[in-house]
Amino acid sequence: MAEQATAEPAHAALVSSALALGEGAGVRVAAPELTVVVPCYNERANVRPLVRRLEAALSGLRWEVIFVDDASPDGTAAEALQLAASDQRIRCIRRIGRRGLSSAVIEGALASSASFIAVLDGDLQHDETRLPAMLALLSDGAADIAVGSRHAAGGDASGLGSAWRHWLSGLGIRAAQAFLPVRLSDPLSGFFMLSRPLFDRLAPHLTGVGFKILIEVLLAAGHNVRIVEVPFVFRPRTAGESKLDLLVSMQFAAVLIERLFRGLLPVRFLAFAAVGALGILVNLAALAILTKLIGLGFEWSQGLATLVAMLANFELNNRITYRDQRLVGRRVWQGRLVFVLVCSIGAIANVGIAGMLYHQHAGWSLAGTAGAAIGVVWNYAVSATLVWRAR
Ligand code: GDD
Ligand code: MN
């Protein structure tokens, strides 16, 4: 409250001095040279310390920071907005009903009008004091992309914490190196800088899935970019917690697999089909329990077992396949209902088409496969638009 009371007259003074200069109600300020894009989810406690550190590290430069928050329940956005209210260098993009580090970075970078874009984690683990060195490499024309590296000479990855994280990171680095057109010591780094024109050129080729935005950028950039690694010490986290979990690692594998299929089969479809295959097992298990253990008649059992499988598939798809668009709260029930309806129609189509082919002497395996394939494509296509609506 006290802050608002003091902010008001200051603002009024700014407007009147602008009017006095004959510039209308707005004040013209040149775009910054550098935008620091900071994806953040539940990083409230880190917002202020990060801004203070950026101020110290970037003094003398025209810079801005764009926090990209996915409706963090801890009030990260409110914290950033409070700072932004009295400081033009601070901006905040808020996304609702979406999750994902890579897509957050892409949207933050697309909102920049600066000459250069840096990507920096919002948890103080990346070393912001390396930013001027990275900027110098780019503006001198020595590199097209500057990558903060924990594994180059002088860097350090001990802030990763557990032995498990070190192992996982090592595995990921080797997998990524096998796919990348350029050799890098730390291709999994989430800390890098590039020019905005270069980013704009690459942006249409980025999928935005998962955590590994740098990998995507490097894959899209191909051979014709000069990359320089800048060593840095990865600090341990002091507030909040890491969002990198098993599912995120699976998503990383998925991005590489999609690459292997050259985009012919979207990973989302593969995940959806895998969940569907698992659903058949759930269906059979439930059928066995209902007929053998509970002694229910076959038709009733199969009907109930199918429902159980559909509900299980919905849960898995909502948590894995559509993790980035996961339905929550009231919308889960709505989604469940629509999903069951869509899959029921899919099942009818499956049985109908298989039956038709079978009667045309197609052989039971071909008829069954065709019915199932049409069923899964239908379920996927329709639930993508009706259940997990692309927003
Ligand atoms: N907007 C948004 N949405 N931000 C997110 C999301 C999300 O869904 N998930 C994570 N973030 C933010 C975090 O708040 C943090 O600022 C940053 O992205 C990195 O997330 P962490 O959860 O701290 O990741 P990490 O420290 O485990 O992983 C880091 O090291 C990896 C290498 O081991 C990241 O820098 C990775 O990019 C890096 O590959
Ligand atoms: Mn982190």
Determine whether the shortest distance from the Cβ of 99 to ligand 1 is under 6 A: yes
What percentage of the chain has pLDDT greater than the value 90?
50
Quick one: which atom of ligand 1 is closest to the CA of 244? 27
Residue type at 181 in one-letter notation: P
Half-sphere exposure of residue 352: CA atoms within 13 angstroms, side-chain side: 8
Q: CA separation (Å) from 344 to 5, 47, 340, 341, 371?
A: 60, 47, 6, 5, 13
By C-alpha distance, which of 39, 150, 139, 159 is closest to 99? 39
- Phi, psi dihedrals of residue 116, rounded to the nearest 5°: -130, 150
By C-alpha distance, which of 255, 111, 251, 242 is closest to 180? 255
CA–CA dist 33, 37 (Å, integer): 13
Determine whether the shortest distance from the Cβ of 242 to ligand 1 is under 6 A: yes
- Using one digit for the tens of pLDDT, what is the confidence trace for 313-338? 999 999 988 988 899 888 899 999 99
User: Ligand 1 centre and the CA of 344: distance in Å?
Assistant: 39
In the 8-state DSSP scheme, what is residue 156? B
CA–CA dist 267, 273 (Å, integer): 10
Residue type at 19 in one-letter notation: L
Residue type at 268 in one-letter notation: R
User: Ligand 1 centre and the CA of 161: distance in Å?
Assistant: 14
DSSP secondary structure string for all residues of 72-93:
-TT-HHHHHHHHHTT-TTEEEE
Contact (Cβ atoms closer than 8 angstroms) between residue 379 and residue 388: no
Which region, left, alpha or beta, applies to residue 198 given φ > 0 means left and ψ of -120 to 50 means alpha?
Answer: alpha
Predicted confidence at residue 343, as pLDDT, reads: 93
CA–CA dist 82, 160 (Å, integer): 31
CA–CA dist 352, 190 (Å, integer): 50
Predicted confidence at residue 136, as pLDDT, reads: 97
Determine whether the shortest distance from the Cβ of 310 to ligand 1 is under 6 A: no
User: Ligand 1 centre and the CA of 362: distance in Å?
Assistant: 52
What's the sign of the alpha-carbon dihedral 186, 189, 195, 200?
A: positive
Contact (Cβ atoms closer than 8 angstroms) between residue 104 and residue 70: yes
Q: What SS3 state is found at 52?
A: helix
By C-alpha distance, which of 357, 359, 383 is closest to 370? 357
In the 8-state DSSP scheme, what is residue 233? B
Predicted confidence at residue 25, as pLDDT, reads: 63
Taking CA atoms only, the protein residue closest to ligand 1 atom 33 is: 169
Per-10-residue mean pLDDT of the chain, 391 residues long, equals 44 49 68 96 96 96 97 96 96 93 96 97 96 96 95 85 82 83 88 97 87 88 91 89 77 75 76 91 91 86 91 94 88 93 90 86 83 88 84 45
Element containing residue 230 per DSSP (H, E): strand 227-231
β-strand 116-119 against 192-195: which pairing, if any? antiparallel
User: Ligand 2 centre and the CA of 121: distance in Å?
Assistant: 6
158, exposed or middle or buried, with CB in 10 Å at 0-12, 13-18, 19+? exposed
Element containing residue 163 per DSSP (H, E): helix 163-179
Report which bound ligand comes closest to the CA of 243. Answer: 1
Radius of gyration of the chain (CA): 26
Q: Helix and strand tally (H, E) in the chain? A: 13, 7
Residue type at 80 in one-letter notation: A
Report which bound ligand comes closest to the CA of 237. Answer: 2
CA–CA dist 187, 110 (Å, integer): 22
DSSP secondary structure string for all residues of 296-317:
--HHHHHHHHHHHHHHHHHHHI
Determine whether the shortest distance from the Cβ of 255 to ligand 1 is under 6 A: no
Predicted confidence at residue 28, as pLDDT, reads: 86
By C-alpha distance, which of 171, 353, 379 is closest to 271? 379
User: Ligand 1 centre and the CA of 241: distance in Å?
Assistant: 9
